[in-house]
Amino acid sequence: MYGNERRIIGYPDSYVQTYAQENELRFQDITKELHTLTVIDGFDQNETSTYMLTEGETIELFADDSWDNIGYEFYSWTSSNGGTFDDAQSPYTDFIMPDNDTSVKATIIQ
C-alpha cells in the first residue's frame, strides 16, 4: 500500500480504496496495468497534474476559467495518445483512459 491507499475488508484484494481530493472515495482495480495521464494547463503549459489510471477508468476534467476575464476562452480538449472525451468541446467533461500513457490538454484561444 502507498500513501493514502487502504485495503477494504470485504472487497477482493484487487481493489484499493483511495482518498482523492475533497475526501471522495475512489476504487481502482489493481489487477489492471496503471497508465499515466498528464493533464496540461492550456494557458500555462508548465502547469500539469498527473494521475495513475487503468484502461477504461473515467476521470472528470474541467478547464479553469480564470483566464476568461483577460480575453481568452476555452476551445477544446485534445489527447496526445488516445482515450475518449465525453464532449471535447466542453470545459467540463469526462475522459476515458486508454490502454497506454497519454496527455490531455485544454486548448485556449484569444
Q: Tell me the pTM.
A: 0.69
| 94 — pLDDT class (breaks 50, 70, 90) | very high
What confidence tens digit (pLDDT) does each residue in 9-31 have? Answer: 343 333 344 444 445 555 555 56
Residue 41: pLDDT above 60?
Answer: yes
State whether residue 107 is helix, strand or coil.
strand
The pLDDT value recorded for residue 17 is 40
Give the separation between CA 89 and CA 107, rounded to whole angstroms. 10
Residue 72, all three cell numbers: 481568452
The pLDDT value recorded for residue 31 is 64
User: Which has the higher per-residue pLDDT, 49 or 44?
Assistant: 49
Beginning with the edge strand found earlier in the chain, give each strand of the sheet holding 48-54 in spatial order. Answer: 48-54, 34-40, 102-109, 73-79
Give the separation between CA 93 and CA 4, rounded to whole angstroms. 26
Give the separation between CA 74 and CA 89, rounded to whole angstroms. 8
Q: What are phi and psi of 66, to 5 degrees?
A: -65, -20
Q: Which domains does the chain have, with CATH numbers?
A: 1-31 (no CATH), 33-109 (2.60.40)
Give the separation between CA 19 and CA 53, rounded to whole angstroms. 14
